[in-house]
Amino acid sequence: MINEPSFELKGPDAIRSRMEEIQSKLASVLPQGNEFQKALDKQVKGVAPLEIRLEDPEADGVITSSPNSQNLDIAGPITRQCSFLNKCMSAQQKLQVQALISKVAVEQGIDERLLKAVVQAESDFNPDEVSHTGAMGLMQLMPDTARELGVVDPFNPYQNLTGGSKYLKQMLTRFNGDTSLALAAYNAGPGAVKRAGGIPNIAETKNYVSKILGNLNR
Catalytic residues: 122
Tell me the β-bridge partners of 62.
55
SS3 state at 216: helix
Alpha-carbon span 130 to 162, nearest angstrom: 18
Which amino acid, one-letter code, is at 174? R
Q: Which residues of 19-46 are buried (b: 16+ CB within 10 A; e: fewer)?
A: beebbeebeeebeeeeebbebbeebbee
Query: Which phi and psi angles does 170 have, rounded to 5°?
Result: -60, -40
Q: How many C-alpha atoms does 49 have within 13 Å on its Cβ side?
A: 10
Residue 36 and residue 30 in contact, taking contact as beta carbons nearer than 8 Å: yes
